[in-house]
Amino acid sequence: MIQNYSRDYDVKCDLDTCKTYPVITDSERGEMLCGGCGLVLVQNIADSSRESQGYTSEEFMSQARTGPALSLTMHDKGLSTVIGNNVDSTGRALSGKTKLVFGRLRVWDKRSKSRTTSALSRAFTMLNGMKTKLGIPDNVVEEAAYIYRKAANAKLTRGRTMASLVAAALYAACRETNTPRTLDDIAEAGNIERRILSRDLRTLIQKFDLKLDQYNTASFIVKISNNLNLKEKTKRDALSILKRSEEEEITSGKHPVAVAAASLYLACIINGEKISQKKFANVAGVSDVTIRTRATLIKKTLGLTNLADSI
C-alpha cells in the first residue's frame, strides 16, 4: 500500500526477497520505489531543493514557488482546499447567485472528505489542545503527530480511544526529545486514566520498536524551580547536589522527579528559602514521604551533616 505519512521517509518493502535491495528515490516524480520489485513506497515527496534568491519584491513574487511549510500536525499537512468568504479578489461582495454556488461548494467540499481525514482532524485538534495546556514546543508536537500517523496507518486505533493514543504518542515524543513531562502530566492534560495511557504507550513501543531513553533528571530540576520561582543560586546548588549524587551512584533506579525534588529541597535549605515538602510534592507530583526519603539518603551519602535538623 502506498504511504504518504512518512517524515524521514524511513520505509522499506515488506517482501522478504526485497530486503537486500535499496530504496530508489525518483526526485522528478516525487516517489520512492523498491529496488527489487518496483513497488511505490512513498509518493508526493516534498521538494526540498534550494529556493532561488530574490533581492527585491518583484523577484520574490516571480521566483517563489512554495507556500507555507508542511506540517504533520494538520490532517492534510497544510495543503487543504480553502473556500474563503463571500468576497472576490478585490474585496467586493459577491452577488446572491454566486454566494449560493460557493455555499454549495463548501458543503460538498466538507462531505467529500474521507472518514480517515475527519479522524485525523479531530485527533490533531486534541493534540494541539494538550500542547497548549502543557506548553510543549512545536518540534515535539510534530514528532507526536508523526507517531500517531504511523499508529493510525497500522490500524492501532481499533479498540482504543483516540485520546489515549494521542496522549501516548505525545508522551513518547517527549521522551524522545527529552522534554520533561511525566505520565501524570500527560494523563491529566488528556483527561484519561494513567493505566490506559501506560497500556497504549507499551503498545506503541512494541509495535514500532521505539527506543525511549530515560529523562535527564536535571531537566526536572529546572522545571520544578521555575514553577516555584526559586532563586538562580538555589537552582545551581541543586544541580551540584544532583551531580554529586550521580557520582555516588545513588540515583540509579530512583524516580527522576523525586530525586530532582529532593535535590531542590536540600538546596532551598542551604540558601534559606523556606518551602515545605508538601509544596514540593504538589508541584513535582510525588508524595512528600518520597521526597523526605530521597533527601535523607542524599544528605547521608554526601555528608551534609549541617542539614540534619532541617529534614
Residues 6+ apart with CB under 8 A from 88: 94
CATH number of the domain enclosing 169: 1.10.472.10
State which of 10, 28, 47 marks the end of a domain: 47
Residues 6+ apart with CB under 8 A from 143: 173, 176, 177
Same domain, 155 and 195: yes
Q: Is 105 among the domain residues?
A: no
Grid cell at residue 61: 513574487
Same domain, 221 and 167: no
* Residue/partner pairs of 199-207 with CB below 8 Å, 24 or more apart: 199/164, 200/160, 200/164, 200/165, 200/167, 200/168, 201/168, 201/171, 201/172, 203/156, 203/160, 203/168, 204/147, 204/151, 204/156, 204/168, 204/169, 204/172, 205/172, 207/151, 207/154, 207/156
Same domain, 175 and 241: no
Q: Is 70 among the domain residues?
A: no
Same domain, 134 and 200: yes
Residues 41-75 have pLDDT tens digits of: 887 776 665 556 666 666 666 666 555 667 788 77
Same domain, 176 and 154: yes
Q: Is 121 among the domain residues?
A: yes
The pLDDT value recorded for residue 69 is: 65
Same domain, 197 and 241: no
The pLDDT value recorded for residue 196 is: 94
Closest CA to 270 of 292, 240, 226, 229: 240
Same domain, 204 and 237: no
Number of H helices and number of E strands within the chain? 12, 3
Q: Is 302 among the domain residues?
A: yes
Residues 108-165 have pLDDT tens digits of: 877 776 677 778 889 999 999 999 999 999 999 999 999 999 999 999 988 899 999 9
- The rounded Cα 135 to chain-centroid distance in angstroms is 11
Same domain, 231 and 197: no
Could you say which residues of the chain have pLDDT below 70?
A: 1-10, 46-69, 76, 78-81, 113-114, 305-311
Place of cell 494538550: 130
Q: Is 104 among the domain residues?
A: no
d(CA 83, CA 228): 47
State which of 208, 243, 273 marks the end of a domain: 208
Same domain, 119 and 203: yes
Same domain, 148 and 185: yes
Q: Is 59 among the domain residues?
A: no
Q: Is 170 among the domain residues?
A: yes
Helix axes 288-302, 232-247, angle to 10 degrees: 70
The answer to whether residues 194 and 184 touch, using CB atoms and an 8 Å cutoff, is yes
State which of 208, 228, 247 marks the end of a domain: 208
Same domain, 202 and 229: no
The answer to whether residues 23 and 6 touch, using CB atoms and an 8 Å cutoff, is no
Grid cell at residue 109: 467540499
Q: Is 109 among the domain residues?
A: no
Same domain, 201 and 148: yes
Structural domains counted in the chain = 3
User: Which range of residues forms the domain containing residue 277?
Assistant: 217-307
Phi, psi of 112 (to 5 degrees): -75, -10
The pLDDT value recorded for residue 309 is: 47
